[in-house]
Amino acid sequence: MPNDVADWTTAVGAPWVAVGGKTTAGVGPDSFDTSAVKPEAQTLGIVVEGGVLNTIGPIHVVGKTTGTAYQVNFAGQQTGMVVVRIRPDLDSQYTVSWSTSSGAGVVVSAATSPLDFTYPALGQQGMAASIPVVIASDQTPLLINTSTGLDVDANIDEVGGAAFGLGPRAQASGLPVSMPTDLPLSTKGQQAMVASLPVVIASDQAAFPVSPAGGQFDVDANLDEVGGVAVSLGQKVAASSLPVVIASDQAVAANGQKTMAASVPVVIASDQSAIPVTLPAGGSDVDANIDEVGGAAFTLGVQNAAQSLPVVIAQNSAAGRTGQQVMGSSLPVVIASDQSSIPVATVPPPGVAFASAQRGIGTATFVTPLLPGAKGIICYLNVTLGPGNAAVSISDVDPAGGLNAANLVLISTLAKGAGAGGRLTVSPDLPSVANVVLQAAIAGQAAITYTVAAGLCTFSIGYAFLL
Every domain of the chain and the residues it spans: 5-113, 351-466
Mean of pLDDT over the chain: 78
Pick one of 2.130.10, 1.10.3470, 3.40.1800, 2.60.120 as the CATH number of 5-113. 2.60.120
Q: How much is the pLDDT for 367? A: 87
Residue 6: per-residue pLDDT: 45
At residue 295 the predicted structure's pLDDT band, cuts being 50, 70 and 90, is confident
Q: What is the pLDDT of residue 37?
A: 95
Q: With 90 as the cut, is the pLDDT of residue 53 above it?
A: no
Name the nearest CA neighbour of 356 among 421, 453, 424, 403: 421
Beta strand ranges found along 170-282 (DSSP E): 225-226, 229-230
pLDDT higher than 90, residue 356 = yes
- The pLDDT confidence band at residue 13, using thresholds 50, 70 and 90, is very low
Alpha-carbon gap, residue 181 to 54, rounded angstroms = 87
Q: State the average pLDDT over residues 106-125.
A: 78
Highest mean pLDDT among 113-117, 119-123, 132-136, 209-213: 113-117
Instruction: Answer whether residue 110 shows pLDDT above 70.
Output: yes
CATH assignment, 351-466:
2.60.120.380
- State the Cα–Cα distance between residues 239 and 154, nearest whole angstrom: 60
pLDDT at residue number 352: 94
What does the alpha-carbon distance between residue 466 and residue 350 come to, in Å, rounded to a whole number? 10
pLDDT over 60 (residue 156) = yes
> How long, in residues, is the chain?
467
pLDDT at 1: 41
Helices (H), 215-277: none
User: Among 133-142, 192-201, 306-315, which stretch is predicted with the lowest mean pLDDT?
Assistant: 306-315
Residue 435: its pLDDT value, please? 65
User: Which is more confidently placed, 252 or 179?
Assistant: 179
Percent of the chain beyond pLDDT 90? 20
φ, ψ for residue 295, nearest 5 deg: 85, -5
Q: Are 433 and 347 in contact (CB under 8 A)?
A: no
Which pLDDT score is estimated for 219?
Answer: 57
CA distance 170 to 277: 63
For the cut 80, the answer to whether the pLDDT of residue 446 exceeds it is yes
64 contact partners, CB below 8 Å, separation of at least 6: 33, 91, 92, 93, 94, 95
Most confident of 71-85, 224-238, 290-304, 377-391: 377-391
pLDDT tier, 89 (very low <50, low <70, confident <90, very high otherwise): very high
Confidence of residue 3 (pLDDT cuts 50, 70, 90): very low
- Tell me the torsion sign for CA atoms 399, 401, 405, 410: negative
Kindly tell me if the per-residue pLDDT of 105 is higher than 90.
no
The predicted-structure confidence for 127-146, as pLDDT tens digits, reads as follows 866 666 677 788 887 666 65
Neighbours of 186 (CB within 10 A): 10
The more confident residue out of 153 and 34 is 34
pTM of full prediction above 0.85: no
Least confident residue range of 82-91, 369-378, 387-396: 369-378
> 312 or 136: which carries more pLDDT confidence?
136
> What pLDDT sits at residue 265?
79
61, 44 Cβ separation under 8 angstroms: yes
Confidence class for position 276, pLDDT limits 50, 70, 90: confident
